[in-house]
Amino acid sequence: MTDTRKTIPWLLIALVVPALAVLIALGTWQMQRLNWKSDMIARAEVAASQPPGLMAQVLVEADPEFRKALVVCRGLTTAPFLELRSIQDGQPGFRLISACTPEGLDQTFLVDRGFVPESVVDRPRVVPSTLPLSLTVELRRTPTQGGMTPAPEGRVFYGRDNAAMAQTLGAAEASEFTLFALVSPNPEIEAMVASAPPAAFSNNHLGYALTWFGLALGLFGVAGAMVLRRFRGGA
């Protein structure tokens, strides 16, 4: 008569093996994501550390994001603008956005002129002008809006939607890159701070990978203990 306590628990194996495969695959994927993210952070740091280049030359680089560039925008100091709700250093306020077609280029870009605290009511005057303004900017790829972003209210936006912003400003279709002014084009408004936001890189992939691998190891240990007890005649 066969001792059922020493038969191979096929049902347990059928359940555990696929689960282990999934957990190991998830851990491996997170390690791949870790390598990709680390490479992206390294490239961003290199790009940000390089001196500004001419806009036309920067744009033909493999990935111009985080690169500093020199542009000439005519009339930017008194150009029409819209306001983007934002927070800087924990302080609510607005970022002023205008459209610019840099000299020597035939593409429209949105220019983030700077951050104004909510308590400040001063705004740049808006008058037609063709005066050239040389500006140092940092290129940032505009992130995709989330589905929960409120719709704009007139000229006040709650998320970066380059197409809608360009339309509101009466400009042609805008580039995927936003130009962040690194020096204020409106020094007469002392409270307006021109800067590019810090790079927001979330790099938790190593922790995620260790979690998945840890779960796989734990599952393997539990299953192994159950099989061992079965062959030793345990309950």
pLDDT for the residue numbered 169: 95
Beta-carbon-side half-sphere exposure of residue 18 (alpha carbons within 13 Å): 5
pLDDT for the residue numbered 128: 93
pLDDT for the residue numbered 206: 81
The model carries a pTM of 0.71
Helix or strand holding residue 116 (H, E): strand 108-117
Vertex 169 angle, CA 167 and 171, to 5°: 65
pLDDT for the residue numbered 4: 53
**pLDDT mean values, one per 10 residues, the chain (235 residues):** 60 83 89 80 76 91 89 96 93 96 93 96 94 94 80 93 93 91 94 81 77 88 80 62
